[in-house]
Homo-oligomer: A and B are copies of this chain.
Amino acid sequence: MARVDHKLDLSVDGGTLTAALVDIASVSGEEQPLADAIERALTAEPHLTVHRDGNTVIARTNLARAERVILAGHIDTVPHAGNYPSSLSADRARLLGCGTSDMKSGVAVQLRLAHEVARPARDVTYVFYDCEEVAAERNGLLRLARNAPGLLSGDFAVLLEPSGGVVEGGCQGTLRVAVRAAGARAHTARSWMGDNAIHKAGAILDVLRGYTPREPVVDGLRYHEGLNAVAISGGVATNVVPDGCEVQVNYRFAPDLSPEQAIAHVRDLFSGFELEVLDVASGARPGLDAPVAGAFAAAVGGTPRPKLGWTDVARFAELGIPAVNYGPGISEIAHTAGEYVELAAITEAETRLRSWLEG
Contact = CB atoms under 8 A, between A and B. Distances in A.
Interface of A: 172, 174, 176, 187-192, 196, 198-199, 201-202, 205-206, 208-209, 213, 224, 226-242, 245, 247-248, 250, 252, 308-310
A62 B227 CA distance: 73
A226 B188 CA distance: 7
A243 to B, nearest CB: 12
Contacts of A188: 174, 226, 228, 230, 250, 252
Contact of A241 (B205, B230, B309): B230
Contact of A238 (B190, B209, B230, B239): B230
A308 B187 CA distance: 10
A208 B201 CA distance: 11
Q: Is the contact region of chain A dominated by helix, strand, or loop, or is it mixed?
A: mixed
Total copies of this chain within the assembly: 2
A205 B188 CA distance: 16
4 cross-chain pairs, A with B, having the tightest CB-CB distances, nearest first: A231-B235, A202-B205, A191-B226, A198-B229
Contacts of A310: 189
B252 A191 contact: yes
A195 B213 CA distance: 14
A322 B186 CA distance: 29
7 contacts: A174-B188, A176-B238, A190-B226, A192-B224, A201-B232, A202-B206, A229-B235
Contacts of A242: 229-231
Q: Which of A187, A202, A238 lies at the interface centre, i.e. has the most chain B CB atoms within 10 A of its CB?
A: A202
A323 B174 CA distance: 60
B176 A229 contact: no
Nearest to A251: B188
Contacts of A308: 189-190
Contact of A189 (B231, B239, B245, B309): B309
A230 B226 contact: no
Contact of A196 (B187, B189, B228): B228
A189 B311 CA distance: 11
